[in-house]
Structure 1
Amino acid sequence: MDAQSPSPVPPPGCPAHNSGGRVPLHGPEFAANPQAYYDYLRHYGPTAPVELAPGVEATLVTDYATALSLLQDSGSFRKDARRWRDLNDGKIAPDSPVAPVLAYRPNCMFSDGAEHLRLRRAVTDSMARVDSRKLNQTTERVSDYLISQFGVRGSADLLGDYAKQLPLFVFNELFGCPADIGDRVLFGITGMFDGVNADKAVEVLFGAVGELVALKRSRPGDDVASWLMQHESKLTNEEMVHQLALLLVAGNEPLRNLIGNTLHRLLTHDTYAYQGGLIDEAIDDTLWENPPMQNLAPHYPAADMEFGGQQVRAGDLMLVSFAAANTGPTLTAARKAGSNRSHLAWSAGPHACPSKDPARQITMTAIENLLNRLPDIALAVPEDSLTWRPGPFNRALATLPARFTPVQPVRRPGAANAAPVPDRHEERVEGRGRRPERAGMWSSFLTWLTK
């Protein structure tokens, strides 16, 4: 190449030569600076060869227009993970760290055609019944409860103490989980994402959701689980369990990351303090530049074809890089022209996020309530000391330490005092069955509401 067209240089620490020429999207180097990897991947063209975990190969779409083409073409690209050729050929180890995210389950995320339409309609219609005013009230109650845990200390990890827990509590209430079932749902989802005894966590989660389905069959209520069950799609018990588990799991990780990443942006960019749409603007900027799920939307070509300048085979694993597409040259002009929500953070096409409006509302309310309660909150450590969780799919901080002026616990209407909150470590131990005398997190929240 001449001096005006230099050869692209792999990002520091990129061991592509050890991955069969594929660029690895795992490890601390990628987590620390994924944009450097996306800049390098663009030299391949609209698509690039990547490795998601040792031995797990995929084609990553990094261009906005190409991503839209894939996401909107349900005839050429399918979602059913049973088509994944490398998995069927035994090339993917059963204990691969990416298997829990990509493996097939009978829900609307992994279905195509008429079956997808039936399952998705049940989900979207049920979520559409959530009253926005009630959702705000629920989020504020959960926010007040969580702040009551750490507010008197004057310091907190806004990931572990707030952003990580708030979506779980909100969804538990929206789905009408009683105390015992809700405790196990929280334990199961937390264990799955924290990697602590993940197999046991999955078993606990699906067992709890199965009990919730049985409960709602006999005693339906005014909640998403009951609405899903009453839908004209007439879901079976198995289908109910998998749709509810999908909503709980898929709704939790992106939402906690969106809350955390937006808080990170607000605490590290002084310019928002001088803008009228403080939180709204920060959410949009986060969805553009630091989306909570940076690489996902697994698809499988229905036949051998050329796509994005590369030959792909039927059953190849293909993922969309929302983060790379959002920050590519094509989107820069659209964003400057004022199209501030034309990003791909919510995906697109028939499998676009069915809950983006509630997710945005929960994020807005959670952050607004936190800033109102703790107006002088600030980052407690230098920004460059923060670390990001490794992995090819999500974009999430490991911790977000903050400091603020201590505040007294919120007094609920009719309450003499805010109820004391159990230590988080002891709750986790109880969740594993070692201290049955301790109440779980959801039980403690329900008790706090009625004190």
Structure 2
Amino acid sequence: MDPQSPSPVPPPGCPAHNSGGRVPLHGPEFAADPQAYYDYLRHYGPTAPVELAPGVEATLVTDYATALQLLQDSGSFRKDARRWRDFNEGKIAPDSPVAPLLAYRPNCMFSDGAEHLRLRQAVTDSMARVDSRKLGQSTERISDYLISQFIGRGSADLLGDYAKQLPLFVFNELFGCPADIGDRVLFGISGMFDGVNAEKAVGVLFQAVGELVALKRARPGDDVTSWLMKHPAALTDEEMVHQLALLLGAGAEPLRNLIANTLHRVLTDDRYAFKGGLIEEALDDTLWENPPMSNYAPHYPASDMEFAGQQVRAGDLILVGFAAANTGPALSAARQAGSNRAHLAWSAGPHACPSKDPARHITVSAVENLLNQLPDVELAVPADSLTWRPGPFHRALAALPARFTPAQSVRRPGAAGAAQAPEPAGGRVEERARRPERSGMWSSFLTWLTR
């Protein structure tokens, strides 16, 4: 901090007023106005001391250039969470609410060096095989189904009824989940991120993904799971399970927030005026200013060192504040003069998001189809009454209530020109969906497709 500048004042309601220590990024105060917190944190310099949960300390990078330095220097900063000193010293409770997203798992996100290159290449090559045309058709088909469930009511929670569910459905289809496995994948991911019976939900997710791996070993298909399995990296079953759980879980939560945050922007800012050509602009502005994962990318210094003018120790937890870095005052002029896609919402460097192109495609298709089918949709409550879910990592609405003119669904599965759903692996849709135990959301969607 500049010694000539006045001492920073925490934003109103911030517990740092009383603690005199680290700035907490948890609780309703931070969720209600994160930018006030980022403004305060910038007074510390490019990095700032934060608390992610009670007793969980970290350093947050709030400066764009410093964040790029961290993300691109894989020699000085490592991703393997087994280096996390506080965790190793028993300072982090096993049931800490942030442990599931920070604790080590044998996947490409928590690996370094040659192991990271091997796992990452398998993931990148497999995701690159996704056909954008088919993905758009799949997203539109799933969007039609979800809209058909509420279009006659004239009101909906565009988060719970739409944005939350759509990514899970799309991923189930991308990864070739049959009905029974798909229902449990949806249950597992939803419970894990919602914090409802999280331990049980994680168990259900990994059990379901394990069964999916076994199924695809026996009967591979035209899907990401099978492509990953056939990759020259020759992933073991355990490696397959952990890469798939990462792709399904880490993809679903940010994507649901991205769809909802983009819809929020379109519905609360007259500049976009529901014009199709501006949906891409609304998406990019959301990624700059309201990214779905606002603080993440955990890294650990490989040794004691100086970083951004501060001394850090080997094994310290350092996170990137994507939202803070994207909205820093020094970046405003550069953003106007440069690319509208130079934000850090997808991270950067060797661990940048491998699914950003499919995520963009899904979001644009989902928002566009909803606005086309509900042309007069509007918020059902004042914009300033919306609430955001507390949490240090995400930027996530609790709900997005909307109203519109009730109508009958104008699209039916199997209509002329509509894309037909592929038959899920493991049996005919009709046979699997009609079994009494197949009563989850994914089964209901598959049944709807064949009506």
The answer for the alignment partner of 1:428 in structure 2 is: none
Distance 1:303 1:18, change over 3 A: farther
Tell me, yes or no, if the aligned pair for 2:141 and 2:413 is still in contact at 8 Å.
no
Distance 1:227 1:259, change over 3 A: same
* Two-structure CA RMSD over aligned residues (Å): 1.8
The answer for the alignment partner of 1:431 in structure 2 is: none
1:289-330: per-residue Cα shift (whole Å, max 9, x none)?
000000000000000011112111000000000000000022
Which amino acid in structure 1 is aligned with residue 194 of structure 2?
Answer: D
Tell me, yes or no, if the aligned pair for 2:229 and 2:240 is still in contact at 8 Å.
yes
Which amino acid in structure 2 is aligned with residue 109 of structure 1?
Answer: M
1:97-176 mapped onto 2 (5 Å cutoff): 97-176=97-176
The answer for the alignment partner of 2:186 in structure 1 is: 186
Tell me, yes or no, if the aligned pair for 1:184 and 1:204 is still in contact at 8 Å.
yes
The whole-number CA distance in structure 1 between the counterparts of 2:445 and 2:22 is 47
Is 1:206 paired with 2:206?
yes
Tell me, yes or no, if the aligned pair for 2:210 and 2:241 is still in contact at 8 Å.
yes
Is 1:53 paired with 2:53?
yes
Tell me, yes or no, if the aligned pair for 2:176 and 2:223 is still in contact at 8 Å.
yes
Mean Cα displacement is larger for which, 376-385 or 402-411? 402-411
Displacement, 1:9?
1.4
Segments of structure 1 that go 5 or more residues without pairing to the other structure are 417-434
Mean Cα displacement is larger for which, 298-307 or 276-285? 276-285
The whole-number CA distance in structure 2 between the counterparts of 1:6 and 1:196 is 43
The answer for the alignment partner of 1:322 in structure 2 is: 322
The answer for the alignment partner of 2:355 in structure 1 is: 355
Which amino acid in structure 2 is aligned with residue 146 of structure 1?
Answer: L
Question: What is the TM-score of this pair, normalised by structure 1?
Answer: 0.93
1:91-136: per-residue Cα shift (whole Å, max 9, x none)?
0011100000000000000000000000000001000001000000
Tell me, yes or no, if the aligned pair for 1:62 and 1:324 is still in contact at 8 Å.
yes
Distance 1:438 1:179, change over 3 A: closer
Is 1:22 paired with 2:31?
no
The answer for the alignment partner of 2:302 in structure 1 is: 302
The answer for the alignment partner of 1:445 in structure 2 is: 445
Which amino acid in structure 2 is aligned with residue 273 of structure 1?
Answer: A
Which amino acid in structure 1 is aligned with residue 254 of structure 2?
Answer: P
Would you say how many aligned residue pairs link Structure 1 and Structure 2?
432
The whole-number CA distance in structure 2 between the counterparts of 1:276 and 1:187 is 33
Is 1:36 paired with 2:36?
yes
The whole-number CA distance in structure 2 between the counterparts of 1:288 and 1:65 is 15
Residue 75 of structure 1 aligns to a residue whose secondary structure is coil
Residue 152 of structure 2 aligns to a residue whose secondary structure is helix
Segments of structure 2 that go 5 or more residues without pairing to the other structure are 417-434
Distance 1:275 1:215, change over 3 A: closer
Is 1:344 paired with 2:344?
yes
The list of structure 1 runs, each at least 4 consecutive aligned residues, that deviate by more than 3 angstroms after superposition, is 4-7, 17-20, 413-416, 435-438
Tell me, yes or no, if the aligned pair for 2:10 and 2:17 is still in contact at 8 Å.
no
The answer for the alignment partner of 1:248 in structure 2 is: 248
Residue 257 of structure 2 aligns to a residue whose secondary structure is helix
Displacement, 1:415?
6.9
The answer for the alignment partner of 2:91 in structure 1 is: 91
The whole-number CA distance in structure 1 between the counterparts of 2:20 and 2:97 is 19
The whole-number CA distance in structure 2 between the counterparts of 1:123 and 1:27 is 35
The answer for the alignment partner of 2:400 in structure 1 is: 400
The answer for the alignment partner of 1:372 in structure 2 is: 372
Distance 1:18 1:240, change over 3 A: farther
Tell me, yes or no, if the aligned pair for 2:144 and 2:411 is still in contact at 8 Å.
no
Distance 1:17 1:448, change over 3 A: same
The answer for the alignment partner of 1:292 in structure 2 is: 292
1:23-72: per-residue Cα shift (whole Å, max 9, x none)?
00010000000000000001110000000000000000000000000000
- Aligned-pair identity in percent equals 87
Tell me, yes or no, if the aligned pair for 1:50 and 1:59 is still in contact at 8 Å.
yes
Tell me, yes or no, if the aligned pair for 1:25 and 1:52 is still in contact at 8 Å.
yes
Tell me, yes or no, if the aligned pair for 1:19 and 1:51 is still in contact at 8 Å.
no
Displacement, 1:203?
0.5
Mean Cα displacement is larger for which, 399-408 or 268-277? 268-277
1:72-87 mapped onto 2 (5 Å cutoff): 72-87=72-87
Displacement, 1:194?
1.2
The whole-number CA distance in structure 2 between the counterparts of 1:306 and 1:415 is 63
Tell me, yes or no, if the aligned pair for 2:306 and 2:312 is still in contact at 8 Å.
yes
Mean Cα displacement is larger for which, 405-414 or 249-258? 405-414
